[in-house]
Amino acid sequence: MDTCTHSNPLANESNENGLINMTAVWQGKRYPLQLPSTTTVGELKQQLEQMTQVLASRQKLLGLIKKKLPNDDATLLSLNIPSNSLVFTMMGSVESQIIKDPTDVDLPDVLNDMDVDYCNDILTIKPHKDPVNIQSLNKVIEKASIRIINEPRKAKKLLVLDLDYTLFDCKTPASHIDQLSRPGLHEFLATVYVYYDICIWSQTSWKWLEMKITELGMLNHSEYHISFVLDQSTMFSIMGTEKQLASSSSKSVTIPKRHQVKPLQFIWSKFPGQYNAFNTIHIDDLSRNFAMNPQSGLKITAFKNGPTMRATDRELILLGRYLVQLSMVDDFRSLDHKKWKQFNGPLPQ
């Protein structure tokens, strides 16, 4: 049977005129472009800004070249982009959508007032031993999966990081997202990346989680790589406790309260032989998220009022040193992570 090759008139015309045809994909929509090969990446971003309302400064163009992001002054010709049919992804958000995660709107101003420490809490049955919670955990393990961004590395420990109020002030109004990132964020991640694979676990939807870490510049940083990201679909609710002030006095009382948890067993089940209770540490501003793994959690101070607190907040600097020291410990559970600021262990050589 004869085969016929159909030429693409647009491609031929593009080659002859030094034009490049490409398609940008953003939020599921496709934006066709035809640009001179002398167009710079910066000019391409300006064109995309007109089409999508995403500021050029907020755009990340993935897929123009392999493994890295191009410089804005690079021309399309210098990137050796094919003259026809290149499809790439644009990451970024319009200003009106930035950091307006609807799951953040209902967050109370003083989250820690509702927090509970299950290491100290006196319960008949600890949450991680409760058959009801174990059943919920098994359902999550069975149904949910992990989307790998960067492959786990051999012999690395695992660092699980909360996002909102741990690395990022998700509620305070600001003119730019940089004012809301915790001071030293990227330096901290670059430091711990030497010893740990990094997971971000946030109680929000995948859409908003992806948007936040992209806007914060965490997704394609040159000095560290996120291994995987988990959203609220990998969490489940337990019947825990909450401390409240009694109406008749100034004393606090403990009452039953449902809340969600981040079970590290879910991760361990997906990476047998790689991560476990010995080599995993979970950083969060809420102790209740550690309910299923109380010995693997480290609570830090919540980062709020970012534009003001940036001048004095040094939590990540101190935390980075502790995590480097912790990487030398065979079993992370052997330490009392409440005393992390007082720990003075050896540093790697």
226-249 pLDDT, tens digit per residue, is: 999 999 999 999 987 665 555 555
Q: Which residues contact 294 (CB under 8 A, 6 or more apart)?
A: 117, 118, 119, 126, 128
Domains of the chain: 10-96 (3.10.20.90), 102-339 (3.40.50.1000)
Cβ-contact 61, 45 below 8 angstroms? yes
Nearest to 57 by CA among 69, 66, 49, 65: 49
d(CA 45, CA 57) in angstroms, rounded, equals 8
How many CB atoms sit inside 10 A of residue 69's CB?
15
pLDDT of residue 187: 98
The model's pTM is 0.67
pLDDT of residue 111: 40
Which residues of the chain fall short of a pLDDT of 70? 1-17, 66-68, 83, 95-124, 241-256
DSSP string, 190-214: HHHHTTEEEEEE-SS-HHHHHHHHH
pLDDT of residue 200: 98
Q: Which residues of 244-279 are buried (b: 16+ CB within 10 A; e: fewer)?
A: eeeeeeeeeeeeeeebbbbbbbbbbbbbeebbbeeb
Amino acid identity, residue 346? P
**HSE-CB for 228 with a 13 A CA cutoff:** 14
pLDDT of residue 117: 61
What are the C-alpha distances in Å from 327 to residues 106, 226, 251, 265? 36, 18, 41, 20
Q: What is the pLDDT of residues 38-87, one digit of tens each?
A: 999 999 999 999 999 888 887 888 778 765 678 889 999 898 887 677 88
pLDDT of residue 289: 94
Cβ-contact 159, 167 below 8 angstroms? no
pLDDT of residue 201: 97
pLDDT of residue 340: 97
Q: Find residue 86's DSSP bridge partners.
A: 22
d(CA 208, CA 204) in angstroms, rounded, equals 7
d(CA 288, CA 314) in angstroms, rounded, equals 23
DSSP at 151: P
pLDDT of residue 205: 83
Q: Which residues contact 146 (CB under 8 A, 6 or more apart)?
A: 228, 230, 267, 270
Helix (H) or strand (E) holding 136: helix 131-143
SS3 state of residue 65: coil
Amino acid identity, residue 136? S
